[in-house]
Chain A
Amino acid sequence: MSAIEVRNLRRVYRTTVGVLRRSVKEVVAVEDITFDVSPGELFGLLGPNGAGKTTTVKVLATLLIPTAGSASVMGHDVVSGGDEVRKRIGFIFGGERGLYWRLSGIDNLRYFGSLYHVDPDVVKQRIPYLLELVGLKGRGNERVEGYSRGMKQRLHVARTLLHDPEVLFLDEPTIGLDPVGAREFRQVIRDLQAEKKTILLTTHYMFEADALCQRVGVINHGHIVALDSPAGLKQNVQDLSVVELEMFGVPEEVIERIRRQPFVDSVAVENRDQRQVLLVHSLRGSEAVPDLMASLNDVRVGRVLVREPTLEDAYVRLVGGES
């Protein structure tokens, strides 16, 4: 039996627009998604903003009802068996909200422990362990309103582990964390994986998915466009090399010119402070560099690097540079 089973899931949001002439506007967040997650697996969902990742997680956490299709967690349908699903899951949605800021960290955990039906003695024993696990040891008696964003997110992690759930949904859990906090958090995820928890992780960070996930589903425009292990996904771009060109003020027409070159597979632009980094996926590797430089005309070029493709490059190829 799969721990998570999603079959032809479709979810449409309906909103009314206009004041006098009101009309219903439909936005398809998830078009048709099917995947399974095995017990104890760490499964990643990758995709650009608005691809349908959070919607999928919210359906699985029983917070949204699917428009069509079905989803189940540990054999229980998320709509008809919602009560059973809620007993078995924990979830985190990236961000600071979802906690009681006027209460201390410990009181928040006591509160949620009671609502998760955990025995108060067990809660009392688990709180120090969880606070230490998430790096909040010694800060539990402070009011949450004084916590940094990262501390609040770590408290969310402690909150969701109180009842020792079988399945965890982590929706962009490291967003907004500083690099040290994010690294510590990834270690927490690894520890949970070692405990054989089933984890569904959504993230924007490819290296995070590469380092943590056993399988990754790439989601775009409400469809799963690829589903494989990180190594398997990277195989899709093994024929390519990536040329990174650091530039200053590159015009749009130059990017278009490069994109039209026959040896170029795709082009993505990353903005880094005052610079732009052009990521050119090419079949010709370092041999493409002279031709690329010739296409740039008078644009000032900094560092040039040719490297092997990563999971991020596989992702860019799949979603067409939308991220």
Chain B
Amino acid sequence: MLKSVWTSWRPVFTVAEMTLRQTVMDSFIIFTVLVQPLLIAVMALWMLRDKGSDIAVFVVVGSGMTGLWSSLLFVCGNSINVERWSGTLETLVGLPTPLEVIVFGKNLANVFQSLVSMVASYMLAAFLFGYPLHLAQPLLFGVSLVLTVLAFISFGLIVAPIFVMNPSVQQWQNAMEFPVYILSGFLFPIALLPGWTTPLSYLLPPYWAARALHATSSGGGSLQEVLFAWGMLLLFSLIDLLIASRLFKLMLVKARIDATLNME
């Protein structure tokens, strides 16, 4: 049983490993997942330096999440297009492993890489600004992080085929970055925003991820609230995976009809 589970998941981990090997020194990815979140963390820690050390963990987790979202948008979102541009998509589509499994593995690598920014922000806050950092509920934070990773990977599986099928949507890629930082409450609570924006936040998986991570790292929320956020993350992951499965089928049929698997 375990062997069969491992066998079916092995391609995912091989893809993740090879993706990390290729992108570890990629300057665009380093900027997206490390430099930009660190700049955000420095600015936020500087602006909030009079608010006390409690805010530091919030900023560290929040800036790490900005890296996660940017990575999802720019790296996971382009994960199919990149294969097409480099001429490998045709080879991948002709393999027995479904393309969505391959993209899942690529997204796993990208999301894992983004978590580095959270660790980097943590070290920055601890050593540069001298904040005493500790996680309020480390175990619950760990579970929240795993569910966040799953939710981001699943959301990335929707974004990638949409960007392939609708290049016009991809033109809005840059415009989608900061609104989600704000609507998801990465760096400040959404209670500070106008009331009409709240339903929009509820529709975003990153909002529930931010809620679970902030509550378990800063200790600001009850267990019930954390469990509810977990439930929403799982629900969104499930819905996203179902939608993604349909989108991949549609995209591949369209690409096989329009002969767009190859850029040549």
Contact = CB atoms under 8 A, between A and B. Distances in A.
**Shortest beta-carbon contacts, A-B, top 6:** A97-B87, A114-B14, A115-B97, A98-B91, A65-B256, A102-B22
Interface in A135-191: none
Contact of A111 (B18, B94, B259): B18
B22 A117 contact: no
Nearest to A83: B96
B93 A63 contact: yes
Contacts of B86: 97, 100-101
B90 interface: yes
A135 B238 CA distance: 47
Interface string B48-88: 00000000000000000000000000000000000000111
Q: Chain B binding site: helix, strand, loop or mixed by DSSP?
A: helix
Nearest to B91: A98
Interface string A102-143: 110001001110111100100000000000000000000000
A93 B22 CA distance: 24
A197 interface: no
B134 interface: no
B251 to A, nearest CB: 13
A203 interface: no
Contact of A86 (B87, B95, B256, B258): B95
Interface residues of A, number: 31
* Residue of A14, A62, A65 with most chain B CB atoms under a 10 A cut-off: A65
A111 B88 contact: no
Interface in A6-37: 13-14
Contacts of A107: 18, 21
Nearest to B257: A65
B96 A115 contact: yes
A314 interface: no
B102 interface: yes
A58 B92 CA distance: 13
Interface string B196-215: 00000000000000000000
Indicate the size class of the contact surface on chain B: 20 to 34
A98 B95 CA distance: 12
A258 to B, nearest CB: 38
B258 A97 contact: no
A61 B93 CA distance: 10
Contacts of A98: 87-88, 90-91
A260 interface: no
A86 B11 contact: no
A13 to B, nearest CB: 6
6 contacts: A63-B261, A86-B95, A97-B88, A103-B21, A114-B11, A115-B92
B47 to A, nearest CB: 39
Given A115-B102, A116-B95, A117-B96, A110 B14 contact: yes
Interface in B212-262: 253, 256-259, 261
Contacts of B18: 100, 103, 107, 110-111
Given A115-B102, A117-B11, 15 more contacts: A64-B256, A64-B259, A65-B256, A86-B94, A89-B94, A97-B88, A98-B88, A98-B90, A100-B86, A103-B21, A107-B21, A112-B91, A112-B95, A115-B15, A117-B7
